Amino acid sequence: MRKEIVGQKVTAAKPHHDVDWLDLESIASVQLTSEDPAFPIENALSANPERNEIGWRAAAPGPQTITLSFDHPLRIRRIHVLFIEHQTERSQEFVLRYFSSQETGREIVRQQWVFSPSGSSQEAEDYNVELDSVTKLELTIDPDRG
């Protein structure tokens, strides 16, 4: 009998600025629950580091979901997320999921973080993954975990 255990592999990696990131503007559409017009989602998804620092912000309070729907199934090997909070001390949880033509949503990572303006004001996560035939990536953020 031949047996192979195939699970998704997730490992943290150091971010690199010389990585060729996907051109999301040309290969995906985005759906989101809320958006502050001064901080549009395009800032967060841009390949331009200056726009990334400006980032996206929700207009409404409470949990938010950002979904990237790809025009064609993709092979995803790396995912980078960056959260910056300079003003308020708060706890946050985010969940990153992927959808493929074979699966209806699978969790990649779930993580909590406590922001503190006087200390920990930035959370950067860089994941090496092995995901094939990805049709959607979904990021759910619960910004006020108590």
**Least trusted range by pLDDT, from 5-14, 57-66, 101-110, 130-139:** 5-14
pLDDT at 7: 54
Whether 84 is in a domain gets the answer: yes
pLDDT at 120: 86
Whether 6 is in a domain gets the answer: no
Whether 4 is in a domain gets the answer: no
Report the sign of the C-alpha dihedral through residues 21, 14, 98, 102, in that order. positive
Whether 1 is in a domain gets the answer: no
Whether 55 is in a domain gets the answer: yes
Whether 29 is in a domain gets the answer: yes
Whether 5 is in a domain gets the answer: no
With beta carbons less than 8 A apart as the criterion, state whether 58 and 67 touch.
Answer: no
Q: Which residues of 93-116 are buried (b: 16+ CB within 10 A; e: fewer)?
A: ebbbbbbbeeeeeeebbeeebebe
Q: pLDDT tens digits for 14-59?
A: 445 556 788 888 899 999 999 999 999 998 887 665 665 678 999 9
Confidence (pTM): 0.81
Separation CA 84–CA 67 (nearest Å)? 20
Range(s) of the domain holding residue 113: 11-142
Whether 107 is in a domain gets the answer: yes
Q: pLDDT tens digits for 102-133?
A: 878 899 999 998 888 888 888 889 999 999 99
pLDDT at 20: 77
Q: For position 58, which CATH number holds?
A: 2.60.120.260
Domain count, the chain: 1
